[in-house]
Structure 1
Amino acid sequence: MLGEIPMPAGFLLTKKILTIIINMTYSCRVDFNKIHMGRERNEDRQADCITSYDLKKLDEMYAYYADKGCEVLPLEECMRKRRLDVMRLDGFGLLAEDMGKMIRFYRDVLGFEIKEAEDTSNVYLVKDGTLFLLYGRKDFEKMTNRRYEYVRGLNGHSEIALYVDTFDEVDAAFKNAIENGATPVLEPELEPWGQRTCYIADPEGNLIEIGSWNKPFEDKDAGR
């Protein structure tokens, strides 16, 4: 049974300067003459997890790597870091008062490929690798057994950021959105940091940014 297997003692060692996050998927019995290491899969980080069922050898290993200038952390700290690292950003959602109106806006004005009917209780759409959700407010309140406060008018709590490849497309997208019912918030302008951007609001006041770095979407973050 799992409860009968002892948890190996261990520590995380890293080369100087490198960001470190342990990958607890890899833990191994240690042969001190041929040490097996767990390498973090993310290429942006380098971290080695050393584990052992022999506490005496673990102390010896600890001293060996510390003497080589590696940073050595207790296993408990490694596990804490790993728990923080496994959470990934999946998407975002909006709580809609009028689902039909919101679907028509995001589908017909902004071009979101929404397939659900306008009387649905929620929308689930993966767009450009990001999950976009619409929840009916009453349905969400029923599910969570809570009541919420909702902002009337422009909602300054958050924004949705959309990207187009060129500055000209920013202007065209803004014009099209306004002509089809979006609320103008900020007309297109070139910002000091080199981005052309504008803001509109959807029918329920949620802020939407449409911006561009005048380069393709795939290249916009290169060198930043």
Structure 2
Amino acid sequence: MASGDASPDAKYAYTIVYVTDVEKAAAFYAAAFGYAVRRLDQSHKWAELESGATTIAFTPLHQRETDGLSGQVQLPDATAARGPVEICFVYADVDAAYRRAVEHGATPVSAPEQKPWGQKSGFVRDMDGNVVRIGSHVRE
């Protein structure tokens, strides 16, 4: 296998977002970004959105029971700090999607604007401070 070639059986399956309240986060993402909640387990330690080929999932910040890692999730030191990961949702109407997110409780960061690389995008934060890009698809 050449460098950079994916294994034929490799599949990107999940993006897991660590949150303070799994049920509230799933409901927020469903309302703000237009996704249906696929699953909320009875323990409220796991939720998934109906988001296509790659699942967006939520688990508590303190979740360590099954991950085999030690320590807690490290958060940015300040609410203005940017975390190491950004979630991006693509929409045909970026302005409408941005308004919807803010109307449903997302914190505005920057309104949508046309970028030099051909994408229109704006940024919001979710209830836990995670950065979400609301953008258009970039065509080559």
- Tell me the residue number matched to 2:83: 156
Query: Counterparts of 1:209 and 1:145 in 2: how far apart (Å)?
Result: 29
Query: Counterparts of 1:88 and 1:181 in 2: how far apart (Å)?
Result: 33
> Which structure would you say has the larger Rg?
1
Query: Counterparts of 2:16 and 2:35 in 1: how far apart (Å)?
Result: 14
Number of positions where the alignment pairs a residue of Structure 1 with one of Structure 2: 133
In the alignment, structure 1 residue 85 sits paired with structure 2 residue 6: yes
Q: Offset at 1:178? A: 1.1
**TM-score computed with the length of structure 1 as normaliser:** 0.52
| Cα distance change of structure 1 residues 145 and 94 upon mapping to structure 2, 3 Å threshold | same
Query: Counterparts of 2:100 and 2:48 in 1: how far apart (Å)?
Result: 25
Equivalent in 114, 119, 131 of residue 195 of structure 1: 119
**TM-score computed with the length of structure 2 as normaliser:** 0.79
Q: Offset at 1:99? A: 1.4
Equivalent in 16, 39, 61 of residue 116 of structure 1: 39
Query: Counterparts of 1:195 and 1:124 in 2: how far apart (Å)?
Result: 27
CA contact (8 A) 2:30 2:49 kept: no
Deviation string, structure 1 residues 73-124 (Cα, Å, up to 9, x no partner)? xxxxxxxx48x63144223111111112211211122122113348621123
Please state which structure has a larger fraction of its residues in helix.
1
- Tell me the residue number matched to 1:77: none
Unpaired stretches in structure 2, ≥5 consecutive residues:
none
In the alignment, structure 1 residue 97 sits paired with structure 2 residue 20: yes
Moved over 4 A (4+): none
Classify the secondary structure of the residue corresponding to 1:156: coil
CA contact (8 A) 1:196 1:212 kept: yes
| Cα distance change of structure 1 residues 178 and 122 upon mapping to structure 2, 3 Å threshold | same
Q: Offset at 1:163? A: 0.7
- Tell me the residue number matched to 1:130: 54
Identity between Structure 1 and Structure 2 (%) = 25
CA contact (8 A) 2:26 2:48 kept: no
Classify the secondary structure of the residue corresponding to 2:47: strand
Q: Offset at 1:125? A: 3.8
| Cα distance change of structure 1 residues 141 and 175 upon mapping to structure 2, 3 Å threshold | same
Residue range with higher mean Cα deviation, 154-163 or 198-207: 154-163
